[in-house]
Every structure is written in structure tokens, then in C-alpha cells.
A and B are shown apart, each in its own frame.
Chain A
């Protein structure tokens, strides 16, 4: 479970600390930093793969001229507390950053450190690391993955942190699965590949998704992967209309595609207890579909001990979650992002969505 994120000198985040809960609704005005928080996590995930460094000078806070950018991640994974820190250094004449410091601690003990171009591996004795000179352009944590179980556990956990924006436009969500993907892409554009993997690896989840979709899509029977070429498959949805050929994913409505994506997220990621951050995922949904999904997701988080963090402006979600789980993002006068717990109407009269629509939520 993600316990803490610290960001300094990244976009609108300056000395910013975020402590997520198991269930949380991030709310606030446009431009208050909610989606940028998810972007920071996405970029950190990309960075920690070690193949490229996505932290460019353009990601620094505009109104500061600081050369150091810092990220910290704290997580509890199967009872172990992990604390990761990276410091990126920017030179004035380069758009790229280099990694000045990178470290991972497990329950307070350093298990990996890269400092000034030297990697300290702690796989043997914690007091006598083996040292390797290394380049500082990218993250080097992955180098210790094979030799250190804590590094492996932390990076493995991070793969199961999902920052998703479900873009339901047909061009974004591809019908064709050329292979299998174990994880959904950030915008679920690989939904067909992910489903192809699940159809092999997690039939129970696929069955649960099918059952849920039968309840919400009129006449829905199942999702099918149909052979396309030698190795490819296309994802189709079959309906209880014998005369009609199954619909390609791209032939469904935006809302239907979004429902398929949401119930996959629910029965696969949330049900497995993973950390899921969802940005505005209800844009195309009929109003009637939002509450049943939200209640089922809330139950699944509770059962699986996972973590579900939503960004939403939707009244239905605000009214269901803001009072208990709401965290308001706002900008201070100098531009930096701060948060506070959502304060419900003190008179107990206005629903959170009404309060927010009037702009009274910070009074």
C-alpha cells in the first residue's frame, strides 16, 4: 500500500507531501494538481524501469529556478516498510537530469544506494556494501533486483500500482491483441492484450467481469477473442442477438467500452488488492451505472485490503465519497499545491456536490 509520496520541484509541487489512505477521493478545482500527482507516479514508474529518464527540465516547477528535484515513495508491502528517494540534478545548459542520489530503505535499513555515480549494493552485509561505478543518467535500482529481495519486492509492488485514465475513444482502445500484456497501460489502450492475458491467467476474474457486464449491458453475453492472422486476436463483445455478428470493441459505444474497462479494473486490479488510482473514469457512463460500480469497488477494496484513489468531479462520486474520503487539492497564493480534508457542509444540509458547485467547500 502506498503510504506517502513526497515531491519537490516537480510542476506545481513544492515541498509537497501526500499521505494516501486506503480509499480516497481527490477533489479540487481544475489545475489544482490532482492529475499531476498521477503523472508524477507514472513518471516515477517509468523512471524506475531504468531504461530512460523521463524527468526533463520542463518538469521542474516553473516559478522556481532550482537545480534539485526530489521524489520520495513510502510503501508497506507484505508488512515491510519501504522508503525510496531519488534526487535529480539539473544543469542550466541541459534539458536532461542526472541522478544525484537514489536510495531504498527497508524498515529503516539501506538496501540500495547510488550516490555520486557509485552504486552501493547491500545484498550481503548491511555494513559492507559492494561498490560499482555507474552512469547517472537513469535509475540504477533495477540492477539490484536479482540480488536483493527487498529491491525486487519494492519494484514488484510498484508494477502493481496503476495510474489509469480510461480513455474510451475507439482509436485509443485497440481491438487487436497482438500479444498478451500482464498489466493495463495507463489509458487502457492495450485492453485487448490485457484481456488476452487474463483469459489465460485469471479465468475467475474473467468470469466475474462477464457476470457483472451481463448485469449492466443489455443483452451482453461475453467477450470473445477471435483469431486474426497467425498470432493476433481481436476482441469482440457478443450480445444476445443471434442475427448479429459480435461487435468489435471499437464498435461499442464509449460508455460500453468504459464499463468493460471499469469492471475489468474492479475484478482484476482492485480485487487483487493492488493500488489503483483512477482519473475521471466516469465521463462516458450513464448516471445509473456509477453508483453500482462505486459501491462494488468500495466493497472490493475493503475485502482485498487494496487501495483505491479516485479523481473525480462527478456529483454522484462526490456525494458518495467526499464526506468520508475526500481530500481537497488547492493552490496557495504562491502557486504551490496543498491539501486538506474535505469539510462537509457544517449545517448538514448541502450535499458535497452542491457545496463544491457553489465554491463553498473551503469556507
Chain B
């Protein structure tokens, strides 16, 4: 599988976008190789919008892959569901659109499903706090500015952890361990 030269990112909100953007920039990706699309919806229905657009966008990326390596990130919070349930929902969306489920060996599509939500990942990556777990909703524990300030170090950690030689902490939360494993195949070549 060729490394993508361009990547599309489907995200629920600005905070997810900030994490992915800073990660991609820190990984050396030219921002002109990336196109973000954000859900127009508020909390609650953003997940639905991402799900409904996922199959259409994945189909476009798959079709374009025949002529140019094209990656895709989709990021959607697990919230109170399990990561596997969210993965199943995304696969069902593909199936309903007449597409095959994601094949990790073939599709440069990374499905990032933070549990409980992206703030959980930012806390783990940014503060390396081992007490952070996936049930508590940490969203309201910080101001928007504080979350934003933490995202830079979170992105740096994510870059370090997605390197081929990286060793992940044994206590790492499951959703992030899984997400880290998905990222490299959708990551465009850096400059």
C-alpha cells in the first residue's frame, strides 16, 4: 500500500480538528495535503453527520486511490458506546452504501474513535496521566483555552507513538492504542 499523498479528514468538531491538524503538522505533513470537513451540527447530532458522510467520502477516497494514493481520517467520539459498536456502525454505513467494510491491509482509512471522547485522548497524550480512564467525561474539567493549550503536547506525543519503533505504555487506554495502530496507513508522506 502506497503512502497517501493527500488526506481527507472528517471530524465532529473543532477540538478533534485541532488535534488531528497539530498532529499532521508535527508529523511533517504539508497542510496543503490535507482537507478538513467539520460537522455543521452541535453536540449530539455531530456523530450522526459524520456517520452519514463517512460512506460517501470513503467511497470517493477509495475510487481516487486507483490513480493517486489518498488517505482518510474519520474521528468520532465513542461517548457511552464501545469502540467496537462505533466501528460496526461505520461498517454498516459502508455496507448500506454498497461498499465493503474497511480492510486494514488495503484501505488507507484510519477510524479514530476516542473513548470516552477526544478530551480523554488529549489528556492521556498531553498530560500522560495514567489515571485517566475511558468512562469519565473530562470535557468540562478544563476551559476551551486549557484544552487548546494541551493539544500541542498531545500532538507531539501522538507523533512519537505512531513512529514504527515506538513502544506504547503498557497501561495505555484501549481506544487510543487502537487509534495509534490505525494512523500510519492513512498518514501522508511528510515533506
Q: In the complex where A323-B38, A344-B41, A348-B42 touch, is A295 in contact with B48 (Cβ < 8 A)?
A: no
Task: State whether B49 touches A215 (Cβ < 8 A).
Answer: no
Task: State whether A299 touches B32 (Cβ < 8 A).
Answer: no
Stretch of A77-85, A157-165, A349-357 on the interface side: A349-357
Task: State whether A215 touches B36 (Cβ < 8 A).
Answer: no
Q: Mark B142-177, 1 if CB is under 8 A from A, else 0.
A: 000000110010000000000000000000000000
Task: State whether B21 touches A319 (Cβ < 8 A).
Answer: no
Q: In the complex where A344-B40, A344-B41, A344-B42 touch, is A292 in contact with B48 (Cβ < 8 A)?
A: no
Q: In the complex where A215-B30, A295-B21, A324-B14 touch, is A348 in contact with B41 (Cβ < 8 A)?
A: yes
Contacts of B35 in A (CB 8 A): 291
Cα separation A289 to B30 with both chains bound (whole Å) = 12
Task: State whether A319 touches B41 (Cβ < 8 A).
Answer: no
Q: In the complex where A347-B45, A348-B49, A349-B49 touch, is A320 in contact with B38 (Cβ < 8 A)?
A: yes
Contacts of B49 in A (CB 8 A): 348-349
Contacts of B99 in A (CB 8 A): none
Q: Which of B18-43 contact A (CB under 8 A)?
A: 18, 21-22, 25, 30-32, 34-42
Contacts of B14 in A (CB 8 A): 323-324
Q: Which of B47-62 contact A (CB under 8 A)?
A: 48-49
- We find that the number of chain B residues with CB closer than 8 angstroms to chain A is 26
Task: State whether B32 touches A295 (Cβ < 8 A).
Answer: no
Task: State whether B40 touches A350 (Cβ < 8 A).
Answer: yes
Task: State whether B148 touches A295 (Cβ < 8 A).
Answer: no
Task: State whether B46 touches A348 (Cβ < 8 A).
Answer: yes
Min CB gap B159→A, angstroms: 16
Task: State whether B40 touches A349 (Cβ < 8 A).
Answer: yes
Contacts of A352 in B (CB 8 A): 40
Q: In the complex where A324-B14, A348-B45, A348-B49 touch, is A292 in contact with B31 (Cβ < 8 A)?
A: yes
A302 at interface by CB-CB < 8 Å: yes
Q: In the complex where A348-B48, A349-B49 touch, is A295 in contact with B36 (Cβ < 8 A)?
A: yes
Q: Which residues in B have some Cβ–Cβ distance to A below 8 Å?
A: 13-14, 18, 21-22, 25, 30-32, 34-42, 44-46, 48-49, 148-149, 152
Q: Which residues in A have some Cβ–Cβ distance to B below 8 Å?
A: 215-216, 288-289, 291-292, 295-296, 299, 302-303, 319-320, 323-324, 344-345, 347-352, 355
